[in-house]
Structure 1
Amino acid sequence: MNSESSVQPPQRKLQHTSQIAVRWGDMDFYGHVNNTVYFRFFEQARVEWIESEGFIVSPQSDSGAVIINASCTFLLPVSYPATVIIKVFAGEPGRSSVMTWYELYVEGDERLYAEGAAKVVWTDPRTGKSAPIPETLRAKVS
């Protein structure tokens, strides 16, 4: 048995789907969406997911989510005009963190245009330290 066949993919569960319009200014010199904008798409979908679970995403919140790393694999270029569909997935939560994954599609097209990941850590903004993931959110991602 080789090592590739023994590696199990992480368990992940669809949490949220967002639709975001591509703006003309999202494109770069080459006529496709700039690579940095994909991270903004993932961020917006993540914020919408967290807010849909009843949490306020604001500097004045008692606690909230930050990311400690992010990645993206660009598979196909996206160009204006388009609406992107972002699917947000989450894995099994730890005490204060949860892995999230993202799939980016263009509305009307079944092909996967990009995929990404980010580790989300729940924090206390007053101390800047990690905090336990709220039980209501933990129940949704478990």
Structure 2
Amino acid sequence: MNERAKLIHTSRIPVRWGDMDAYGHVNNTVYFRYFEQTRVEWLEAMGCRVSVEEAVGPVIINASCTFLAPVNYPATVVIKMYAGEPGRSSVMTWYELFVEGEDRLYAEGAAKTVWMDTRSGKSSPMPDFVRAVFE
């Protein structure tokens, strides 16, 4: 994570029984869903609708996750989302995933979010109301 990253949102998400895999822990793909939910909550809290009906919207162009320890049901995960310095149309985000009530870091991830013109599919300047979060 970038040392100048700013904490911008925290989510608490209950682990569902169906989130687990055959090994009895949360499946690797589900961590990306937890990060996604956190990102969408942050966007919605700013009034940014994630919809194809919008002229400009955020998309992810890359995502990663490092799995440090397995999460098991029942639990509530706490995801902290951080953001770096925004560019013209994008911002790098990082995620830390904890289990509620514990200090141990279970996973860390990253994703680059780019604002896109939904009609052309090309990058678009980040909306001013989003950029204001970083100032």
Output the CA distance in 1 between the equivalents of 2:69 and 2:96: 12
Radius of gyration: which is bigger?
1
Gap regions ≥5 residues in structure 1: 1-7
Output the CA distance in 2 between the equivalents of 1:15 and 1:104: 14
Report if the CA contact (8 A) 2:82-2:93 is conserved.
Answer: yes
> Residue 23 of structure 2: which of 24, 30, 35 is its match?
30
By how many angstroms is 1:10 displaced?
4.4
> Residue 79 of structure 2: which of 78, 83, 86 is its match?
86
4+ residue runs of structure 1 moved beyond 3 angstroms? none
> Residue 48 of structure 2: which of 55, 59, 70 is its match?
55
Output the CA distance in 2 between the equivalents of 1:27 and 1:51: 28
Matched, 1:118 2:118: no
Q: Which amino acid aligns with 1:42?
A: F
Aligned to 1:132: 125
Q: Which amino acid aligns with 1:87?
A: K
By how many angstroms is 1:9 displaced?
4.0
Q: CA RMSD in A?
A: 1.2
Matched, 1:14 2:27: no
What secondary structure does 2:11 align onto? strand
Identical columns (%): 69
Structure 1 length normalisation: TM-score?
0.92
By how many angstroms is 1:136 displaced?
1.3
Report if the CA contact (8 A) 2:2-2:84 is conserved.
Answer: no
What secondary structure does 2:71 align onto? coil
Output the CA distance in 2 between the equivalents of 1:132 and 1:89: 20
By how many angstroms is 1:84 displaced?
0.5
What secondary structure does 1:121 align onto? strand
1:69-110, Cα deviation, whole Å (9 max, x unpaired): 000000110011111011111000000010000000111111
The count of aligned residue pairs is: 135
